[in-house]
Amino acid sequence: MQTQVSIPEYLSGDFSMYLENMTSLADPENPDLLTNYLSNLFKQLQEMPLLFTGMPDQLAMAITTKVRIDSKSLAKIELSEEPTWADVKAFVGVHADARACITEIMENAEQDLKTAILLIHFYNGYDATPLKAEENDDDDDYGSNGYESDDYDENY
């Protein structure tokens, strides 16, 4: 049975954008598309660490391959209300080649960095597979429009 991950309200808009971007770039016919895009995005971020200030979904994409989040431990803290950066920071590891860039973001755009980390955390645990619709016994005699299946005019 599928578990449902509830995205907190304070993340819902940014999470929608992040999810849409990540899934649109995950092309089975071009498997390197997402990897190349994320790599190019990070290169831009390294040149200008505050490039994505105010755009945590883009920041999350740029750093997603450069941070390691201990999601198992992070999931143990209450995230239904927005945590502080101090609450989240302990569960984040940064690749050596990204430390200077991430440090500058942390010093100047802490809120965006925290949001980006939380977006990655929830995305990593998100199952986008649609839930199976429950069968409805009332549909036996009626079509999807609520009319009996033989209740239509064939000459129309």
Q: What are the distances in angstroms from CA 38 to CA 25, 60, 136, 152?
A: 10, 10, 43, 54
Longest CA–CA span in the chain (Å) reads: 73
Candidate from 50-64, 98-112, 131-145 with smallest mean pLDDT:
131-145
Q: What are the distances in angstroms from CA 55 to CA 1, 114, 122, 148?
A: 35, 12, 17, 51
Amino acid type, 31: P
Contact 8, 125 (CB under 8 A): no
Q: What are the distances in angstroms from CA 43 to CA 89, 98, 116?
A: 23, 10, 17
Residue 117 has pLDDT above 50, yes or no: yes
- Count of residues in the chain: 156
Q: What is the pLDDT of residues 10-26, one digit of tens each?
A: 999 999 999 999 999 98
Handedness of CA 47, 49, 54, 57 (dihedral sign): positive
Average pLDDT for residues 101-124, to the nearest whole number?
Answer: 96
Residue 4 confidence (pLDDT)? 53
pTM: 0.78
